[in-house]
Amino acid sequence: MRRRHLFTLAAAGAVATGCSPDDPAPGRSAAAPAQAPTPAAGPLRFPDGFAWGASTSAYQIEGAAAEDGRGPSVWDTFSHQPGRTHGGDTGDVAADHYHRLYEDLDLMKDLGLKSYRFSISWSRVLPQGRGALNARGLDFYHRLVDGLLARGITPVATLFHWDTPQALQDRGGWEQRDCAQWFADYAQQMFYSLGDKVTTWLTLNEPKTVVSLGYVTGTHAPGIKDRKIANVAGHHLLLAHGLAVRAFRASGRKGGIGAALNLSPVYAADGSAGAAKQAATLDVEENLRWLDPVLLGKYPDGWLAGQPAPVRAAVRDGDAAVLGERTDLLAVQYYNPVFVDAKGGRVKQHPTTQATWLEVYPDGLYDLLTRIKRDYGDIPLTITENGMPTTNDVQDDDRIAFLRDHFAAAHRAVQAGVRLQGFHVWSLLDNFEWAEGYSQRWGLIRVDPATRDRRRKASAEWYRGVIARNGLDGGGSAQPSQPGRTSPAS
């Protein structure tokens, strides 16, 4: 099962772009291929205070799915349906983080993390999605945030990482405009509850993935396959983002807020005019139809006109201003580039990983970051996801090489003037990789599938050194490292 299908769908015309390939938005174009990577000679140091971090999300690690009053989310429902996930895996126990919170906090401190990006399970704090807070659920996040602060780690809280409360799905979920307001109300409750301690907030994680996998291919929760309404959900997600930003401003809480978008630079696979046209068209779907609303308060020219009627009807006067509420940062999630030929087919030009959609191309990160600065200005950026799965158990030298090359690309972007403030590796722990279940292991820290015992991988040991040095030595070559034998608590 492949996780990211959007490219295929857009190329097949399943997702209407409404943009004439002859007429890409003026002044913007799909990425030009990067120059060959220049191996840096000396040590690469990042700016003082650079936020080296790691990312997780609630359903992927917490477990305790029915404890302390938590209500089900769409992912509980979906993962329990036959045939939805690899081997029928669910997040019922996941990495058991809910019960191993302090062990995990100590592991983070042992790594030297400066920043930790997690998500709040909406249905743990609001079992029905709305109404009165579940104090026991909320208490978990108080303990997590207090534990981070006590260890000198900055909390970065994501409000929605795909786990819509099932109670709200039963009322229509993101297809309903009301869902945007339900989300904003929940966000407001979080700002009031945790906003004296959490100062960086992310509204949505990867709305593009929710739309493409949750509503077009149906391979993610809620498992809907309906192209006509997929971008209705997409619009309501963006509306939710904007309303939550407004609620944040109204709360008077200090700090910053932004969205977490997964973006892929799109390249022509050859020098033909046809490939360039296809790349410009696909760039709209992969990048611009998310960046433009959030950063410019509009959909790309012609995009909405090319959408099915229900999508056009969903967009009302005044919505643009909500979508484009001023944000304080943009969280960038980068995994892969897309190379496209004149027929609109994807051409993989680089090695892939166990996740076959993940074509490894670190220069794409440089191109993406510099493109955002060029086209959208100097908004502070933080990388909230980048990483790879590997079948290597704890001696994950392939992950070290992957991260080293992406850190070096990020460093080049910083040198080019990009305001990059942090880099969060996906992921801290091996976890529930959605439809792939536990078959893909993305963690710096191994989680034993049977006992859930933790063990630091070679990449964790290596990352600790990167953080301690605030960068890479010797032009970014991987330092030899040995996996940790035990977790620090034992």
Q: How far is the CB of 432 from ligand GCO (least distance, A)?
A: 8
* Min dist. Cβ of residue 262 to ligand GCO (A): 6
For ligand GCO, the binding residue among 79, 85, 115, 209 (CB under 6 A) is: 209
- Pick the closer one to ligand GCO by CB: 200 or 262: 262
Extract the tokens encoding 274: 């046809």
Per CB under 6 A, contacts with ligand GCO among 24-43 are none
Clarify whether 325 is annotated catalytic: no
Residue 169 engages ligand GCO in binding (rule: CB under 6 A)? no
Q: Name the residue nearer to ligand GCO (CB basis): 314 or 372.
A: 372
**Which CB sits closer to ligand GCO, 56 or 169?**
56
Is 175 known to be catalytic?
no
407 or 442: CB nearest ligand GCO? 442
> Of the candidates 17, 134, 212, 262, which one interacts with ligand GCO according to CB under 6 A?
262
Q: How many CB atoms lie within 10 A of CB 61?
A: 25
Q: Which is nearer to ligand GCO, 141 or 426 (CB)?
A: 426
* Residue 164 sits in the site that holds ligand GCO (CB under 6 A): no
Q: How far is the CB of 271 from ligand GCO (least distance, A)?
A: 32
One residue of 96, 175, 206, 286 binding ligand GCO per CB under 6 A: 206
Number of residues engaging ligand GCO in binding (CB under 6 A): 12
Q: Does 385 bind ligand GCO (CB under 6 A)?
A: yes
Q: Which of 75, 122, 426, 438 binds ligand GCO (CB under 6 A)?
A: 426
Question: For ligand GCO, which residue of 96, 104, 398, 433 counts as binding (CB under 6 A)?
Answer: 433
C-alpha dist (Å) from residue 440 to 85, 444, 447, 485? 12, 13, 12, 22
Identified catalytic residue from 286, 325, 359, 385: 385
Residues 327-346 interacting with ligand GCO (rule: CB under 6 A): 333
Q: Which of residues 441-480 bind ligand GCO (CB under 6 A)?
A: 442
Which range, of 75-83, 104-112, 204-212, 366-374, touches ligand GCO by CB under 6 A? 204-212
The residue number with the shortest CB distance to ligand GCO is: 206
Nearer to ligand GCO, 117 or 452 (CB): 117
Q: 57-116: which residues touch ligand GCO (CB under 6 A)?
A: 57, 60
Of the candidates 239, 238, 166, 182, which has an alpha carbon nearest to the alpha carbon of residue 208?
238
Contact predicate 325/405, CB 8 Å: no
Q: How far is the CB of 205 from ligand GCO (least distance, A)?
A: 5
CB of 440 to ligand GCO, least distance (A): 8
Instruction: Cite the active site residues.
Output: 206, 385
Binding interface with ligand GCO (CB under 6 A): 3, 57, 60, 205-206, 209, 262, 333, 385, 426, 433, 442
